[in-house]
A and B are shown apart, each in its own frame.
Chain A
Amino acid sequence: DQQVKQNSPSLSVQEGRISILNCDYTNSMFDYFLWYKKYPAEGPTFLISISSIKDKNEDGRFTVFLNKSAKHLSLHIVPSQPGDSAVYFCAARRSGGYQKVTFGTGTKLQVIP
Chain B
Amino acid sequence: GAVVSQHPSWVICKSGTSVKIECRSLDFQATTMFWYRQFPKQSLMLMATSNEGSKATYEQGVEKDKFLINHASLTLSTLTVTSAHPEDSSFYICSASGWDQPQHFGDGTRLSIL
User: Interface-forming stretch among B12-20, B72-80, B81-89, B103-111?
Assistant: B103-111
Q: Given A41-B91, A97-B99, verify A103-B43 contact (CB < 8 Å).
A: yes
Complex Cα gap A36–B104 (Å): 10
By beta carbon, the residue of chain A nearest B45 is: A103
Q: Is A30 an interface residue (CB 8 A)?
A: no
- Which B-chain residue is minimally distant from A48 (CB atoms)? B102
Question: Given A100-B34, A100-B46, A101-B46, A42–B107 Cβ distance below 8 Å?
Answer: yes
Interface size class for chain A?
20 to 34
For the complex, count residues of B whose C-beta is within 8 A of A. Answer: 25
Verify if B25 is at the interface (C-beta below 8 Å from A). Answer: no
Residues of B within 8 A of A43 (CB): 4, 6, 93, 95, 105-108
Query: How far is A43 from B34 in the complex, measured between Cα atoms in Å?
Result: 13
User: Interface readout for A97-113 with B: 1 if CB under 8 Å, 0 if not?
Assistant: 11011111110000000
Q: Which residues of A contact B105 (CB under 8 A)?
A: 36, 43-46
- Which residues on the A side are within 8 Å of B54 (C-beta)? none
Taking CB atoms, residues of chain B closer than 8 Å to A101 are 34, 46, 95, 103
Contact B100 A95 (CB under 8 A): yes
